[in-house]
Each structure stands twice: as structure tokens, then as C-alpha cells.
Amino acid sequence: MPLEDALLLAVKQGVVELTVPVSAPHTDEPEAFAHAVRDRMLDHQYQVMTDPTILDPDNLEVATCLESRDPLDDPLREVLLSLGMAPLATEGGGDQGHSMFSRFQKRQRTQLERWRLTYARTKDINPALHEFEECLIEEMPEGPLADIAEQASETLATAARTYLRLLLSPGMDGLRTLERRILEARGAHRGRWVLHPAAVQALAAFVGESARVMAPSSHWVDDPEGEPLWVANAQGQWIRSDPEYRVVQFVAGGNKALLSVALASICAQSN
């Protein structure tokens, strides 16, 4: 697989770049390459939206970068263009070649092939959505979801009333109303975007509190494996869920990853 596991995280001119090296790109088919890049983008979105140390300060831009010392074939370039990535050029440190006279020649530098996709922030998408996010950044309580979920859900409802003009309470109706308003605010923007971790945690809290309304056996657990929402099914077995991951999927997938559909599926298993 040309995409390496290594990840370089750096801030350059106000942009947090999550850079992935590409090695031997000629060994991969375009379809497999596209699948790998999409998966890596989702991984980066999850990392950015759940780690508060990355967007610090919270107005930073963030981007996924691919970097290859070998030229990419045209079909792979077309894949990257179709995924919204743009080519950049930068110098690398390798020599073009060697000869017996190389010590008398000026060292030549190869060109790294770099591609970048910058994720949109709410300020790039919709003013009301941006104010909603800013409020959550300021007002969200600190701590794991198991400890703050009820208060965090109330904080989200207050922010939604003020900035999104919504009257919300936890439950399927409230969740559908909220996700529909977020998708409306996104409007014609179809690029990839990210929310601040505080906003993601607030949305996750509202999802979990909605589950508790629909399936009263649901409860929060301080789970080190990262699945803090537990719902009991008809056989008395616990269905574990990670609402933060569901929120990231919703941000990345929109109508293809609705929170209400995921919650309905979970709660159906509990009946």
C-alpha cells in the first residue's frame, strides 16, 4: 500500500498539516488508492475533531497532505483531484544522480510531489453555524462524556436556540431537527469540513441523551475503549456506541451518515 502509516503533524502559516508519505505509488491501482486516501481523510477528520490540542488556537485551518518522492501516475493524480486535493510543489533533499565528477558539481535537488486538501471551518460555510460552534467552544463543560453529558446537552440546546433559532429537547424529533438545520446551514458547500472538538462533544452528548429518552436503559460509562454510550438489548446484552465517532461520520458524510438513522438502529436493537 503506497500510503505509509507515518504521520507528520506541523503548523505552517496558520494551517495544521497532517502529512502522509506516499511510497512506490506505481504499485497501487487507482480504485484501491482512492479507497485508502478516503479512509485516511476520515481518520484525520476524526483526529482533528476529537483532539482539542490540535486546533489550539481554535481558529486554525487544518489540511491533509500527501507527499511523494516518486512521481504519481496520471490515474492517481486524477483520483486526488476527484477527492478535492490540489497539487503543490516543494523541494526535497535527494540528489538527482551521482558521477565521478559529482563533488565538483552543484548538488541538484529533487522535487517532492505534494498534494493538499484544506478542510473548511464553519466560518467558511455559514455565519450562524460558526456562531453556534463558537458558543460551544466557550460554554462547554470540561470532562468525559460520562460526567458531563446532561449539562453538555443543555449547553447545546441553549446555543441552538440562540444561534440556530431552534427549540430542542433530547429525543428523535430534536435530533432530526438539529441535523436537518446543520445540513441546511452547510447549504451548497460539498467539500470536507471539520468541527471543533467542543462542538463534536456537545453533539455527541445530545445524541446520547436522545438515546436515553428513547431507550431508558441507556446510560453513560467511563469506558477506556472509547464507547461510553451503553444500551441494553432485549436479551439483556449491552450495545456499546461511540457518539463522537457518529458525529464525525455525520460531518464527513452528511445525509449518508445521519445521526438519527444511527440512533434508530441502535435503539431498535434494544427493544
pTM of the predicted model over 0.75:
yes
**What is the spatial distance between Cα 186 and Cα 124, in angstroms, rounded to a whole number?**
10
Angle in degrees, 0-180, between the axes of helices 145-163 and 127-139, rounded to the nearest 10: 140
Name residues whose C-beta falls within 8 Å of residue 138's C-beta, 6 or more positions apart in sequence. none
At residue 2, the pLDDT reads: 73
At residue 110, the pLDDT reads: 56
Note the helical H segments in the chain: 30-50, 74-82, 127-139, 145-163, 172-186, 197-214, 243-253, 259-269
pLDDT tens digit string along 143-178?
999 999 999 999 999 999 999 999 999 999 999 999
Per-chain mean pLDDT for the chain? 89
**What is the spatial distance between Cα 132 and Cα 179, in angstroms, rounded to a whole number?**
13
Query: How many Cβ atoms are within 10 Å of 253's Cβ, its own excluded?
Result: 11
At residue 112, the pLDDT reads: 82
The DSSP bridge pattern shows strands 229-232 and 219-220 to be antiparallel
Nearest to 124 by CA among 189, 80, 77, 184: 189
pLDDT, average across residues 221-238: 82
pLDDT over 80 at 102, yes or no: no
pLDDT over 50 at 36, yes or no: yes
pLDDT over 70 at 51, yes or no: yes
Residue with cell 440512533: 263
At residue 40, the pLDDT reads: 95
pLDDT over 50 at 193, yes or no: yes
At residue 91, the pLDDT reads: 52
pLDDT, average across residues 136-140: 98
